[in-house]
Structure 1
Amino acid sequence: MATPSSGRKLKASGRSRNDVRSLKRKREVDDHEALQKRVDELDPKAEIKQFSDLPLSQPTSSGLEASRFKTLTEIQSKSLPLALKGKDILGAAKTGSGKTLSFLVPVLENLYRQKWTELDGLGALIISPTRELAIQIFEVLRKIGRYHTFSAGLIIGGRSLQEEQERLGRMNILVCTPGRMLQHLDQTAAFEVDNLQMLVLDEADRIMDMGFQSAVDAIVEHLPKQRQTMLFSATQTKKVSDLARLSLQDPEYVSVHESATSATPSTLQQFYVLTPLAEKLDTLFSFIRSNLKAKVIVFLSSGKQVRFVYESFRHLQPGIPLLHLHGRQKQAARLDITSKFSASKNSCIFATDVVARGLDFPAVDWVIQLDCPEDADTYIHRVGRTARYERAGKAVLFLDPSEEEGMLKRLEHKKVPIQRTKPREKKQQSIKSQLQNMCFQDPELKYLGQKAFASYTRSIFVQKDKEIFKINEYDLEGYAASMGLPGAPKIKFQKGDDAKKIKNQPRALLSSDEDSEGDESSKATKKPGVRTKYDRMFERRNQDVLSGHYSKMIANGDQDQGADAGGDADEDNDFLSVKRVVPVDEHSSGEDSDLETSGPAAKVIPGIGREPIVIDSKRKEKLLKSKKKLLKLKEKGTKLVFDDEGKPHQMYELEDEQAFRQRGTAESQRAKFLEEEAARVREADLDDKQLAKAKKRERREKKKAREAAEKAGDDEEAPELVDDSDHQDPMALLASLPLADDEEGRAPKRPKKWFEDDSDDEKAAKKKGRFIEAEDEPETLEDLEALAADLLE
């Protein structure tokens, strides 16, 4: 038992705890007021070089110090004071200049000064164009915000939507991609953004372009207009329409490198190599073989090219670890690849522009752009993966001779210093024959090469800047040969401007003379030389392996008339054999025919339908392989029945008209039919009446037997059962059983309730009165009369 003195000590200690809590709250309030006062007194134009000189809270300062961030970069020193004061900012700086901290620090400080809690909902939204960049931003946020009590979440595609929905309502800071964020705004009912304080767009120029424009517009419609908005990028957008859509209020434009002589870091060495399209892969392989101890990023224009180059180089084994990354991969694989490349000291990764923006891979030595970028901004972002944070780096751009003039103009306009270099001829290797051998042995690799060629050609064709990308000046045939393909796959848009004219040309103009001229011209263009077994093999088509894919590839392109048509060895690619019905008769294939066609000969298949089927195109040949489509051409089947002799007959057959008339007129036969049916009905009625009388007689006998059994019930002998062996009625046995009148045979009485007595039983009996049990349900009028007589007695 506690003594009185111990109780006094507990009370004293309780009061001290309350005092400590109140002092702590007062200290926090004083700190918030002092911090707000320091922010109000901050001069945005003052030169600040250290994070310690900024009016930051203790948790943020501790997080920056633990993450070893001490000195401010140029973009940070100019943007942070404005952001801490709540200004809208347009920030533009070179790649690798520390733009991430320029918006993460204000996000933490703004929410901290407003004493933001979990109950306040979402306070800051950070949008990134790619998943990898969003993950990187989230990791930096975790490092510098480790001492804060805010809850932060990462919302990107490729993850479980349901798990994100369950946790979304408790988040204070969200890092997301536009598509997944819009999905949650539309589908997650508990997700509210009414209290949003800050909106940040990293790589704003990429987010504001046509790829994400609709998604960003839809997101902004959900957000409140009274908020702080910040946009950061290496190449900032200045369009008034873009800024108006985001509801910016007097934004401050912060561009620290606008007056610089170069738009790229000064520690970055930039070169370009004039390489014809047919020699690109040879030069790239030679480069990788010469830099086995380097960390290299190779940029290509499409994911299909990434896959082909990665698979082919992996078989060639250049002696360096190879990785590949593109947007079609699953999220787990993309994270694994980025982490592997970040941790490696020497490796080569083939990637699309998915990794071109914002990603910070440590110690990248070389950035190789195998395919020309679509514009100078994309070039700047690509080379920004190296020479980050004032480190050294090198970048090489591969240019086709047709791309040199236009691309150099664009780079000069963007203040990008670049100089030409040449590869050493002694170290130059050719992998053309090896790729041909691999494509010959591995049809899947050949198919990948065909798709890669098509995607590269399509990417050039759709480019807006036609001064750089002139598709007619590329050596596409040589490029296909350098990939190991037997020939360049035909693409639809390669026909040129006269496609419609060729398509709509009348058949009368497509004479055999033109075909023969095309054959002669194609033969004249062939180079003389010895044909090897590989040449003969590559002329064949893979009919057993991937034949469907190959036919789809060929079917995409319409064949031109002339030299190409005459030089092709296979008739299925002929231009004139497209979807044209060839009339089939005996004289069309003779010498007197006025019009000769170069398409395949038509085949006639009789016996399938009512009319013979004419096979004059590939579509008709495929039709014969489909049972469902073939059934439409066949006649409808008929049901047959077999007579006693086994002869088949139709299930429903019309009687012969002559035999029908021999039996008499239709009226007489109708009257005869009615008489026969009336007689049959009368006979059936008599049978029913006799059956009803028999049942009635049977019931009376059962009743008499039951009464006799009741009289003999006093004796303990069992009553005799009615012998009903003649009728074999299963219910007769049950009807013949006696009904016991004694108490043992009766059902037990219902027990009385607490509110019932004997008088209630008497009242119920009087009310109930006398009743008579009917043995069987009355069926006829006589039964009903007998039942009424019993009731009147």
Structure 2
Amino acid sequence: MQDFQSLGLSKKLLLAVEQEGYTTPTPVQAQAIPPLLDGRDVLGVAQTGTGKTAAFALPVLQIISRSKPQSKRHIRALVLSPTRELAAQIDERFSAYSGHLDIRHKVIFGGVKQNPQVRALQKGIDVLVATPGRLLDLIGQGYIDLGRVEFFVLDEADQMLDMGFIRDIKKVLKLLPRQRQNLLFSATMPKSIAELAASFLHNAVKVDVSPEEITVERIAQKVMFVRKADKRRLIVKIIKQERVNKGIVFTRTKHGANRLVKQLDQSGINAAAIHGNKSQGARTKALANFKTGHTSILVATDIASRGIDVNDITHVFNYDLPNEPESYVHRIGRTARAGKSGIAYGFCDESESGYLIGIQQLIGFEIDVDESHEFHFVGAIPKPGQKPGKMKTGKSGNKPKRPNRNNNKSRSKQSQNKPKSQSQSQGNNNSNRQQSPRRRRNRNRSQGNQN
């Protein structure tokens, strides 16, 4: 069995690792640290919770500490992260690991005032952790120069692309010097990520910690077939019966997360939501209260959850099954960390059976079905020969299939994007639009609240 000393880390970093309580490197650390210390580019397939932050932070710190700054410090390592929470946690790890080194680091992200960030940049830093938007904003204002970056880390690359950051990433890459060391981490490796990696990684060492290795040994998984209307009562009953003190609930939309928090609060369950529409202050407070135990249930969307790194989560609830099977693996991986056990519940309604099939194909087995609850609904069970895929329409009664509502929505969207003709501004369509504009705007907004 490997230890950290065998990976080639310096004495000061080994001391920091020991003080953090690390004894044995995780698979991603054991595979990534040696080639990074040798100056190689690395392509890593690993998700949050595998120890990947230490896998790149420790080599980065060791490499840039080999030479001391001669005058004013400049940015020598850049770590790009998709969310504010994840960027902040990466910076916290740099702080912990660099305690015995003469290294300055700073995290910058949007949603807060830029002045404190600018002052730290003007004093000079060695390591910058950033989200794409704020980084490019401060570059445009002349506060950041990437011309001497020696080490570039792109973390959660698949989430970056899902959030529409591909153009921002390409802009950043153009500003970096050609001679540098690169690392890309992604929880999944679709074609788009492989193409992005090929565009800037050179002769990279591939480190693959697949979902099958991460998932499932210590996680008890259950699927419950239930009507959509009964999900709230089912989750309340489980939380109270099992006395859940630290659980995370995943919803598909921001609006759904907010609505569920209100419903849980009405049932006497202390819950908070975390998603992209929340202010940075609200997200930080919700996460801090969850970590300390003041809040027992955190309701999150997939994107926001990438910044949640808490070791003692006992329960994960897939309140809405994810439409991407890989997201299921990421979600349930929030529990059973640090050698502990956990349980993951999946609520499958009549519109989500195709999602369940895709999930089971990915993990390689059928999840145990719990029929013992009072809300069991046979109509949600997948049909023989059913294929994986998107929500069923038609007889399932899905709201998106209702013709009147869809037509109104599509006309409303067209009216926002195209100038109205005279005929469009008159008659029944116009009177329909004028009846309840606020309600229609809210309905359109909630439909667009995807992660």
TM-score (norm 1): 0.48
SS of 1:113 mapped into structure 2: coil
Q: Would you say the 8 A contact 1:97–1:388 is kept in 2?
A: no
Flag the 1:402–1:354 CA change in 2: closer, same or farther, 3 A: closer
- Separation in 1, partners of 2:306, 2:365: 20
Look up the equivalent residue of 2:346 and give its one-letter code. L
The equivalent of 1:181 in structure 2 is 135
- Is 2:347 the partner of 1:398? yes
Flag the 1:263–1:409 CA change in 2: closer, same or farther, 3 A: farther
The equivalent of 1:553 in structure 2 is 439
- Separation in 1, partners of 2:111, 2:185: 25
Flag the 1:148–1:265 CA change in 2: closer, same or farther, 3 A: farther
- Separation in 1, partners of 2:70, 2:340: 40
The equivalent of 1:301 in structure 2 is 252
- Separation in 2, partners of 1:256, 1:467: 26
Q: Would you say the 8 A contact 2:45–2:207 is kept in 1?
A: yes
1:134 to 80, 87, 94: 87
Flag the 1:473–1:351 CA change in 2: closer, same or farther, 3 A: farther
- Percent of aligned positions that are identical: 30
* Deviations 1:323-356 (CA, angstroms, capped at 9, x unpaired): 2222222211211110110111871122222443
Q: Would you say the 8 A contact 2:355–2:391 is kept in 1?
A: no
Look up the equivalent residue of 1:162 and give its one-letter code. N
- Is 2:56 the partner of 1:108? no
1:122 to 75, 95, 103: 75
The equivalent of 2:275 in structure 1 is 326
SS of 1:119 mapped into structure 2: coil
* Deviations 1:693-713 (CA, angstroms, capped at 9, x unpaired): xxxxxxxxxxxxxxxxxxxxx
SS of 2:249 mapped into structure 1: strand
1:61 to 2, 14, 22: 14
The equivalent of 1:629 in structure 2 is none
Q: Would you say the 8 A contact 1:491–1:556 is kept in 2?
A: no
Q: Would you say the 8 A contact 1:93–1:99 is kept in 2?
A: yes
- Separation in 2, partners of 1:283, 1:490: 31
What are the equivalent positions in structure 2 for 1:356-505 lying under 5 Å apart? 356-357=305-306, 359-404=308-353, 406-415=354-363, 417-422=365-370, 424-425=372-373, 467-476=389-398, 491-493=405-407
Look up the equivalent residue of 1:219 and give its one-letter code. V
How much has 1:195 moved relative to structure 2? 0.9
- Is 2:229 the partner of 1:275? no
How much has 1:368 moved relative to structure 2? 0.7
- Separation in 1, partners of 2:280, 2:323: 26
Q: Would you say the 8 A contact 1:292–1:346 is kept in 2?
A: no
Look up the equivalent residue of 2:144 and give its one-letter code. F
Q: Would you say the 8 A contact 2:157–2:186 is kept in 1?
A: yes
SS of 2:207 mapped into structure 1: strand
Residue ranges of structure 1 left out of the alignment (5+ in a row): 1-47, 430-464, 480-487, 501-547, 559-793
The equivalent of 2:284 in structure 1 is 335
- Separation in 2, partners of 1:346, 1:164: 30
Look up the equivalent residue of 2:223 and give its one-letter code. Y
- Separation in 1, partners of 2:219, 2:228: 26
- Separation in 1, partners of 2:225, 2:89: 35
SS of 1:75 mapped into structure 2: helix
Flag the 1:99–1:493 CA change in 2: closer, same or farther, 3 A: farther
- Separation in 2, partners of 1:193, 1:308: 43
Q: Would you say the 8 A contact 1:402–1:469 is kept in 2?
A: yes
Q: Would you say the 8 A contact 1:298–1:351 is kept in 2?
A: yes
SS of 2:363 mapped into structure 1: coil
- Separation in 2, partners of 1:365, 1:306: 20
How much has 1:228 moved relative to structure 2? 0.8
How much has 1:410 moved relative to structure 2? 2.2
- Separation in 1, partners of 2:181, 2:257: 40
What are the equivalent positions in structure 2 for 1:183-198 lying under 5 Å apart? 183-187=137-141, 189-198=142-151
- Is 2:46 the partner of 1:93? yes
- Separation in 1, partners of 2:105, 2:256: 37
Q: Would you say the 8 A contact 1:489–1:554 is kept in 2?
A: no
- Separation in 2, partners of 1:76, 1:58: 17
- Separation in 2, partners of 1:215, 1:110: 27
Q: Would you say the 8 A contact 1:367–1:395 is kept in 2?
A: yes
Q: Would you say the 8 A contact 2:236–2:267 is kept in 1?
A: no
Look up the equivalent residue of 2:113 and give its one-letter code. S
How much has 1:386 moved relative to structure 2? 1.1
- Separation in 2, partners of 1:216, 1:63: 32
How much has 1:402 moved relative to structure 2? 3.6
Flag the 1:86–1:370 CA change in 2: closer, same or farther, 3 A: same
- Separation in 1, partners of 2:47, 2:115: 38
Look up the equivalent residue of 1:376 and give its one-letter code. P
Higher relative contact order (CA 8 A, sep 6+): 2
Q: Would you say the 8 A contact 2:250–2:299 is kept in 1?
A: yes
- Is 2:351 the partner of 1:351? no
Flag the 1:393–1:557 CA change in 2: closer, same or farther, 3 A: closer
- Separation in 1, partners of 2:217, 2:227: 29
Look up the equivalent residue of 2:406 and give its one-letter code. K
- Separation in 2, partners of 1:492, 1:106: 53
Q: Would you say the 8 A contact 2:270–2:295 is kept in 1?
A: yes
- Separation in 2, partners of 1:265, 1:389: 13
2:125 to 164, 171, 190: 171
2:266 to 315, 320, 336: 315
TM-score (norm 2): 0.82
SS of 1:174 mapped into structure 2: strand
Flag the 1:283–1:346 CA change in 2: closer, same or farther, 3 A: same
- Separation in 2, partners of 1:557, 1:128: 31
- Separation in 1, partners of 2:70, 2:223: 53
How much has 1:471 moved relative to structure 2? 3.9
Aligned length, in residue pairs? 414
- Separation in 2, partners of 1:273, 1:350: 19
- Separation in 1, partners of 2:104, 2:113: 19
Look up the equivalent residue of 2:281 and give its one-letter code. A
SS of 1:183 mapped into structure 2: helix
- Separation in 2, partners of 1:238, 1:115: 40
Residue ranges of structure 2 left out of the alignment (5+ in a row): 377-386, 415-433, 445-451
How much has 1:206 moved relative to structure 2? 1.2
How much has 1:123 moved relative to structure 2? 0.6
2:237 to 283, 286, 293: 286
How much has 1:550 moved relative to structure 2? 5.2
Higher fraction of strand: 2
Flag the 1:190–1:303 CA change in 2: closer, same or farther, 3 A: closer
What are the equivalent positions in structure 2 for 1:496-645 lying under 5 Å apart? 551-553=437-439
- Separation in 2, partners of 1:96, 1:417: 23
How much has 1:237 moved relative to structure 2? 4.6
Look up the equivalent residue of 1:180 and give its one-letter code. R
- Separation in 2, partners of 1:118, 1:270: 56
SS of 2:247 mapped into structure 1: strand
Q: Would you say the 8 A contact 2:82–2:160 is kept in 1?
A: yes
Flag the 1:253–1:60 CA change in 2: closer, same or farther, 3 A: same
- Separation in 1, partners of 2:25, 2:230: 45
How much has 1:124 moved relative to structure 2? 0.5
